[in-house]
Amino acid sequence: MSNAETPASVHITLDGVEIEAKPGELIIEAAERAGTFIPRFCYHPRMRSVGVCRMCLVEVSGPRGFSLQPSCYLPVAEGMQVVTQSDKVKKAQDGVLEFLLVNHPLDCPVCDKGGECPLQDQTLAYGPGESRFVEEKRHWEKPIEISKLVLLDRERCIQCDRCTRFADEVARDAFIDFAGRGDHTEISTFPDREFTSYFSGNTVQICPVGALTARPYRFKARPWDLEEAESTCTQCSLGCRMAVQFSRGEVTRFVGIDSDVVNTSWLCDLGRFSYEALDSDRRLVEPKVRYRSEMAEVSWRDAIARVGTHIRNFTSGHGAGSIAFLGGAGFTNEGIYSFVKLAKTAIGTSLFDADIDGGVPASVVFATPRATLVEALEAKVLVVASSDVREELPVLFLRLNEAVKKGLRIIEVSELETSISPLATERLPFSAAQLAASLRSGGAEAERLAAAVNASAGDAGEGAVFLVGKSNFADPSAVYGSLASVCSKKWPAAKFLFSNSRANIFGAMDLGAVPGWLPGRVAASVSDDAREIIARAADEPMLLFLLGVDPLADLPDTALVKAALENATVVVIDSFENPATDYADVILPLAAFGESAGTTTNFEGRVTRLGQVTVPKGQAKPDYLIAAEIAREIGAPSGLTAPETIFAEMSGELALYRGVSYADLASDRYPDGLVVPLGRKAISIGSGPRKLDPIATPGLIAPYHQGPAKPFASEEAGSATKVDGGAPSVSVPNLPEFTVDAAAVSAPAEGRLRLLLTRRMYRPTPQLAAAPILSQLTAQAEVRVAPATLEAIGAADGSEVKLTGDHGVEVLVVARADKALPEGVVQGRLGKGANLLQLVRSGSWATHVKVGSN
């Protein structure tokens, strides 16, 4: 049937009432929208239907009268009659539940799922009430550990295929599957292998019984004791929406919220289980100052007084330009705004750099038209020239995988094979610098990309979206700025997203916590970035504020960073112990996730509220309060002591936030926050009706602002904010020019290999180290080289090799042969153990290393 003939809607009769349904929609979905809940176990709105549990049987009219049909498998048809409540349906439901309970243990009182269990709930609502079963039930060893995070109790499994379908089709990690047959069917991993998926926690969330349980949550709480608040995950800049569930002032677990525009209920394990660290001994909970060589616990008053003294001394002795702020990308928008105001107004220094990773610079982020995630997923073509998406923005990988199935075309630009490569229509094996140079001056690489993009999106790139990010952490940020900049010039109609992955890095950019910018995307004169600040601090007296960063782990040139930290006076404002705290003169304990209210901004520019569910641990304080106390101490009281007040000031003074109110962000109207700035046309800022199917996401009761599903039009939202349409009120700067020395990047180095540094999801961060179970998954540093390279130096696969950097630094690290790698490069995967970043010299266009046997 051609499109013209497809009817806009079909009509079916549901329990005697005529309803409208979308063509191709399943009966179960149509019924749900009409308000009729059909019981189900295997059906999940975010996955392919399989119709295996038979719980959703309803009577459907056919040529030979009514018959029982699975409503999760049968699409609606014009004139179809559906009966969901009849003796026949009731008998079928009784029968299905009786069969499911034949082998299901009645251990609900000790089961984590008890109280939020679809099997328990639906047995009560639709079950026979009595069992005729007197025989012995099936027994398995219980529970078995299928990964460090997930435990499997096979006795409770009802073989709904949800976890296996998730692992296979959503996560592309089919490390679990059904094994055996008949009543011996079990979920199983491959013998002696673990379910090592980055997304394994989702299987626990969607399990309709207590067969899969998460170790960090096991026996922690009963669902009816849990309170919950909606919040946003701050492990990366994707900003997954989630419910923070807590009990007696303690965070007990995170549950993904089915937000159409962000994470469709999925979370990665790093985000889902990051709360483990909140109660750790490695939390910084007392203000400390250094007396002689010892750190001593002091009161907040004394600690702030010491900070004030330092600020006054440095200002009078060396000028305000001797005071610098590094980090802050993990803070709330309110905290960042307060610190930026403290630094740039009260103190008068322009040295502030939150982008410690040196990702795509703010000047490019502001100058290019930004896409939303949904626009990227529905793009005519998506060009991914970024770090490995699964490692940096994990849930984005799930969304891209889903979008590719719906027809999204991805062109990947990457020297290395990444998780995106199997999804991509084409992979162009170029480095970012190579491509940028080629696009600027013409070349084969540019032509290949142009051919791929123009085929779908035309010469102007209408409907094309570029995802640009740092694919090699040894590169300077200018390489990626240059790439995005030339792409935007070549395809002026294309939109952009950037994979800078620190939680609130885009909020930090918007609020002027990066060199050359003031709050509200207002340009200022160019100033030193984090690398230059560190270089200066190694020579001159400086006062360094470390805002939730560990420069030793995150900046290149470790020797220089060490010298800088030793030379400078360091104030650490952080939630977790980290190597940099050893160099601190003052430590101010920072409230962690869930302990502080505020807002955060994701990579689309979407501003969402963070839920505060508990008081800060120990003496810790929220970021904005720390800034306010320092400001008061130095005689510049800001009055910014509550997130509401701070946000009101932001939206009052900065055009960027005009029309957005703090209260709006927690309303039913904007369940997924707002993308700033408002008022630009065709900006999709809201979510569609929320899928609040408790069976799809057991454990989610009703976060406070999730109202009943209601239609949501983006136009309406735009007008409701009372912002004039037409010209955006935030000025868009011109595309910046970057000079990238492409020759230096590709220059062959005799006997040496070009170093490509990549990160993994479980990278050693202070928070990960503080999480008892997650920390066991921390990735080890390793290098990968072409097998021939390994052979040439006579080293075996998996043995230690010695890398020698340009400036003579030597690192011992395990090497693995990788057939997919081209010769001439070495892939360094950052992790614990060896510090590969020390091989990189700040400011060099490319890093070359010599690989030798140990």
Write out the residues near another protein by the rule CB under 8 A: 168, 173-181, 188-193
Q: Pick between residue 175 and residue 603 the one whose CB is nearest to another protein.
A: 175
CB of 147 to another protein, least distance (A): 12
Residues 6+ apart with CB under 8 A from 386: 392, 414, 467, 468, 469, 470, 471, 499
What phi, psi does 341 have (nearest 5°)?
-65, -40
Residues in the chain: 854
179 or 523: CB nearest another protein: 179
CA atoms within 13 Å, Cβ hemisphere of 182: 1
The least distance separating another protein from the CB of residue 175, rounded to whole angstroms, comes to 5
Which is closer to another protein, CB of 175 or CB of 762?
175
- When the beta carbons of 161 and 286 are compared against another protein, the nearer one is 161
| Shortest Cβ 45–another protein spacing (Å) | 25
Q: How far apart are CA 412 and CA 426, in angstroms?
A: 6
CB 467 within 8 A of CB 360: no
Q: β-strands 606-610, 753-758: how paired?
A: unpaired
Residue (163 or 543) nearer to another protein, CB: 163
Cβ atoms of 514 and 508 closer than 8 Å: yes
Tell me whether residue 349 is exposed, middle or buried, using C-beta atoms within 10 angstroms of its C-beta: 0 to 12, 13 to 18, 19 or more. buried
Tokens of 37: 């809940």
Q: 152 vs 646, which CB is nearer to another protein?
A: 152
In the complex with another protein, which residue's Cβ is closer, 168 or 741?
Answer: 168
Q: Closest CB to another protein among 133 and 178?
A: 178
Residue number, 173 or 532, with CB nearest to another protein: 173
Residue 596 class from Cβ within 10 Å (0-12 exposed, 13-18 middle, 19+ buried)? buried
The CA angle 256-257-262, to the nearest 5 degrees, is 100
State which residue, 131 or 185, has the beta carbon closest to another protein: 185
Question: Token pair for residue 700?
Answer: 């989610």
Q: How far is the CB of 182 from another protein (least distance, A)?
A: 10
CB of 191 to another protein, least distance (A): 6
| Cα-based distances in Å from 439 to 178, 447, 449, 484 | 50, 8, 9, 11
Structure tokens at 249: 């002032």
Q: How far is the CB of 810 from another protein (least distance, A)?
A: 32
In whole angstroms, how close is the CB of 591 to another protein at the nearest point? Answer: 42
Give the H or E element holding residue 118. helix 118-126
Shortest distance (Å) from residue 162 CB to another protein: 16
Strand order in the sheet with 598-601: 598-601, 606-610, 674-675
Q: Find, among 488, 459, 466, the residue nearest to 413 by Cα.
A: 466
Supply the minimum distance, in Å, between the C-beta of residue 422 and another protein. Answer: 10
Q: How far is the CB of 795 from another protein (least distance, A)?
A: 18
Q: Taking Cα atoms as reference points, which of 206, 146, 201, 207 lies closest to residue 179?
A: 146
Identify whether the C-beta of residue 254 lies closer than 8 Å to the C-beta of residue 568.
no
Characterise 689 by phi-psi region: left (phi > 0), alpha (psi -120 to 50), beta (else): beta
- Residue 66 pairs with which residues in a beta bridge? 61
CB closer to another protein out of 37 and 178: 178
Q: Which is nearer to another protein, 108 or 179 (CB)?
A: 179
Specify the residue, 188 or 804, whose C-beta has the smaller distance to another protein. 188
Quick one: which of 485, 496, 253 has its CA closest to 370?
Answer: 496
Least Å distance between CB 184 and another protein?
9
CB of 150 to another protein, least distance (A): 14
Q: Please report the DSSP string for 499-534 in residue order.
A: ---STTHHHHHHTT-STTEETTTEE------HHHHH
Q: Residue for token digits 């960042």?
A: 336
CB of 142 to another protein, least distance (A): 19
| 61 DSSP β-pair partners | 66
